[in-house]
Structure 1
Amino acid sequence: MDGGFDAYLDAGCPEKPVDVQKAIAVMAKLSPVEYDQAREAFAKEHKIRLTTLDAEVEKLRPYEDRRTDGNSDFEEVEPWEQPVNGSDLLHTLVTTIERFCVLPDHAAPLIAAWIVHAWAHDAADISPVLAFTSPEKRCGKSTAMAVVHALSPKAEIAANITAAVLFRLIEKHKPTLLIDEADTFLEERIEMRGMINGGHNRQLAFVWRCEGDDHEPKRFNVWAPKAVAMIGNLPDTLEDRALVVQLKRKEGSETVERMRASRVAELLPVRRMLARWVADNEIALANADPDMPESLNDRAQDNARCLCAIADAAGGDWPQSIRAALVGMAAARAGDEPKSKGVMLLTDIADILDRWKGDRIKSNDLVAELVAIDDGPWAVWKGGEPITTRMIASLLKPYGVRPQQDRAYRFYAVGDLRGAVGRYTS
């Protein structure tokens, strides 16, 4: 036997064990280093697979790896002794958030409702990502994330986390995942973005990966509340699934308290109140079908559903306040949302159609109209050259608009163009 198995013998089994389960119980008492030294020899000796041994040992290990900062991924929060008033709880959250953060209009109530959503996560079907963005450094993103960390359940700050760690962390601990400095790595990691995007919808929040020595396919759950902070704009697909709070540097006249580590323990009573209110209202939240503001688009309504359910359950002025905040934030961001190339094209086509006569427009005429737009991108679309009829056809194809042809020329039906404009630019 090798030195690893000797470590196992020294740990308490001086003779070859007859009862494998008792021997595994001894293995579970080893330190991580001792276990790594002993596991291969033990598995070989008892003719069991390493993956089976690891799973059995994990079941028997004591759940002792707890931090002492008061809000780790292992924290067990004891619910508040008395019933908690939901309206008062949301007011407390808003006040707490504004103690430490300088925020744009409408943001604090939505952050407060999102924190409640993190506690009531399994009562929802859609989980919007809470996103803090800024144009530059020192705009308060890390402070905002620290406040969310101090108020959320099982919160874990994960800077520069890998996709492999992410899905295992969620599967095992069901944390509130806080991804700071996402601009340093998220843009280039397609797998990571896909996993975060997939975790938006509870029904689809799974990934398949090969696991163990036999590379067996295993399904991992990626359903967990997530918040990100980054400089610049979110990737388009993530932005569509997010409540975006755009932060700015505070002015000299704006003062807030510093968010120190000691505040985490100080805010434990608020976390206990959150745990109690959610425990008392989880069934009502799971069965809720709240009315949505009609001015929000379909995806924005999906993102808002869990927040409106929380507001309705909390009562007081919150049903109106949360809906007004959702509408106000959407209106404030309406001009800032980046447009895809196709939507850019349809937007300019809409202006052309406003003055167009007839039920068709030649492909060449459409090129000429686009290129003539002052300060538009179409005159230098690719390599400094104007957009072509082929490029236009390629951009319009995903929207169900295709050029037609008669004996003389290729053209677009104005009705087809208007239909796409109406669907995708409003």
Structure 2
Amino acid sequence: MQPMTAAVRDAPPAVAWPPVTVPGQPDRTTRQPLAELTAEPKPSAARSAAVTGPPPVTDRLTGTPGRLTAVTDREPVTAVGQPTGPVGPPAGDALSEGADLLTELRSAVARYVVMPSGEALDAVTLWVAATHLQPAWQHAPRLAVVGPAKRCGKSRLLDVLHDTVHDPFITVNSTPAAIFRSITEQPPTLLVDEADTIFGSVKVAEKNEEMRGLLNSGHQRNRPTTRVVGPEHKPTKFRTFAMAALAGIGDLPDTIMDRAVVIRMRRRAPGEKVLPFRSRRDTPQLHNLRDRLAGWLVPLTDRAASMEPVMPVEDRAADTWEPLVAVADLAGGSWPQRARQACRVLTAQEEGNDQEAALAIRILADIRAVFAACGDPALLSTEQLLAALHADSEAPWREHGSHGLTARGLQLLLKDFGIGAANRRFPDRSQRRGFARHQFADAWARYCPGWRRPQAASADPHPPAPPVPVQVSTGTGGCPATGRPASGFHPYLA
């Protein structure tokens, strides 16, 4: 898409969005001046100077003329055909061009799709806007639109994205070779529907490893793919950097989800209403909004490229969310706060949904609870530790694997943390395989931030145990590894 000139960008819309000609009715496609088509009162001078509102539209369900009104707390939408649910942003938007364009885009999305939360709607809005500044970003966040079943609004959301993002490229049945040959210095926005058919089963996923590799490498700039081209078999590098939205049933591969802003869609409740999406009627309206977004954002490319916004998250999550937060900072108003809130909420949700990572963190926390319940002994045997873990009826360890958590399974869960059992001599002079408390100190400090790092050796060999957020049910009130009262057992479980 070519950048709009300042004159074109700043000019107010002079025509109405074209109506659809219905067979058997008079032709109404002749464009008329906007002033002749709307009887609305003129907006205030302050708002007129700051915002160019959208052309008038006709509500398809009620038949009354109106405007595509922003969904805000100040102006609740309750008419038939408008979405219900947590889609209203907080009050206080500044009357700036960027803030109002984002609010209008937010309303356009909410008009056709019921989003799972206000934070999810904010995230989608900012992601769409960020596609118009792809040359400015170091990372190209993916938008993973997933749901547990059919009819959750995934494909409808892609319809809206197609008409609002920069240069959409539908990848239905497209080969990886065709895709990376289509990515230029001004990259398109990749849209992949029914991604579960690409990555859903092991056999199918193996056939599409090249596609997954392209999506993974394209998350960061300067990660080209190399192919042999021409009769001379000359190695040639192709760009992969491009923002992408993928929709499908169930989670996508972990490597893609980790690079994505994840939107977990759900079916509409009986009271939630949206307008049906019709390309002939709705596409011109959305294209008008898309062009105005580009007109605002494209001149800010250099400024956006130099921004390093303060992020509420770290590491890869920060890389993924940085373009969205930067767009919010460019817009101003309440958008900077809402962008960071969406980042915190959606990132925290995904940390809980990563089952493998959650299980590894859970075992560390539960082992810490066992040590704490036993008075933080220096050693615990593998047998005692497993007995204590199985004693917690609310923990997953009884059902872990076909026979519950075993010594081998415990070793595998702790392997990535550099922790393993070894033959150890206990105070009763017996030798058994077990774990030393100091083995866990570093992992507890890094992955269980609720815990305090065990104190260094002092006059008291057994300092007070840190608070225990994970309760291990023993039925005795004592050490779950031995069943003895916590105040009267031998400190080394002899």
TM over 0.5: same fold? yes
Q: Which of 211, 226, 241 is equivalent to 2:229?
A: 211
| CA spacing shift, 1:214–1:321, aligned 2, 3 Å | same
Shift of 1:186: 2.1
The amino acid of 2:114's aligned partner reads V
Q: Which of 427, 446, 454 is equivalent to 1:423?
A: 446
Partner of 2:99 in structure 1? 87
Partner of 2:243 in structure 1? 225
| CA spacing shift, 1:213–1:392, aligned 2, 3 Å | farther
Secondary structure at 1:169's aligned position in 2? Answer: coil
Shift of 1:144: 0.3
Q: Which of 162, 165, 168 is equivalent to 2:181?
A: 168
Matched, 1:337 2:347: no
Taking the aligned partners of 1:346 and 1:237, their CA distance within structure 2 comes to 24
| CA spacing shift, 1:112–1:386, aligned 2, 3 Å | closer
Q: Which of 406, 416, 421 is equivalent to 1:398?
A: 416
How does 1:255-294 map onto structure 2 within 5 Å? 255-262=273-280, 263-293=282-312
Taking the aligned partners of 1:320 and 1:139, their CA distance within structure 2 comes to 28
Taking the aligned partners of 2:104 and 2:212, their CA distance within structure 1 comes to 33
Taking the aligned partners of 1:320 and 1:283, their CA distance within structure 2 comes to 23
Query: Structure 1, residues 269-291: CA drift from partner, whole Å, max 9, x if none?
Result: 22221222222211111000111
| CA spacing shift, 1:135–1:409, aligned 2, 3 Å | same
Count of residues in Structure 1 that have an aligned counterpart in Structure 2: 348
Secondary structure at 1:137's aligned position in 2? Answer: coil
The amino acid of 1:99's aligned partner reads R
Answer whether contact 1:79 1:273 (CA < 8 A) is retained: no
Q: TM-score, normalised by structure 1?
A: 0.75
Q: Which of 115, 124, 132 is equivalent to 1:103?
A: 115
Secondary structure at 1:230's aligned position in 2? Answer: strand
Shift of 1:125: 1.0
Shift of 1:167: 2.1
Of 305-314 and 187-196, more deviation after overlay is shown by 187-196
| CA spacing shift, 1:424–1:197, aligned 2, 3 Å | farther
The amino acid of 1:137's aligned partner reads K
Matched, 1:327 2:254: no
Shift of 1:334: 4.9
Taking the aligned partners of 1:376 and 1:213, their CA distance within structure 2 comes to 61
Partner of 1:119 in structure 2? 132
| CA spacing shift, 1:344–1:328, aligned 2, 3 Å | closer
| CA spacing shift, 1:306–1:388, aligned 2, 3 Å | same
Query: Structure 1, residues 330-370: CA drift from partner, whole Å, max 9, x if none?
Result: 34555433234534533433433332331222233233333
Taking the aligned partners of 2:185 and 2:300, their CA distance within structure 1 comes to 25
Taking the aligned partners of 1:420 and 1:334, their CA distance within structure 2 comes to 17
Secondary structure at 2:9's aligned position in 1? Answer: coil
| CA spacing shift, 1:400–1:101, aligned 2, 3 Å | same
| CA spacing shift, 1:233–1:258, aligned 2, 3 Å | same
Partner of 2:436 in structure 1? 413
Taking the aligned partners of 1:131 and 1:222, their CA distance within structure 2 comes to 18
Taking the aligned partners of 1:287 and 1:173, their CA distance within structure 2 comes to 18
| CA spacing shift, 1:166–1:301, aligned 2, 3 Å | same
Query: Structure 1, residues 372-421: CA drift from partner, whole Å, max 9, x if none?
Result: 44265544544x23444344223322212233434523332223224224
Answer whether contact 1:186 1:192 (CA < 8 A) is retained: no
Answer whether contact 2:132 2:298 (CA < 8 A) is retained: no
Structure with greater proportional helix content: 1
Of 280-289 and 161-170, more deviation after overlay is shown by 161-170
How does 1:131-280 map onto structure 2 within 5 Å? 131-171=144-184, 174-187=187-200, 188=205, 189-203=208-222, 205-262=223-280, 263-280=282-299
| CA spacing shift, 1:190–1:342, aligned 2, 3 Å | farther
| CA spacing shift, 1:178–1:79, aligned 2, 3 Å | farther
Partner of 2:330 in structure 1? 313
Q: TM-score, normalised by structure 2?
A: 0.65
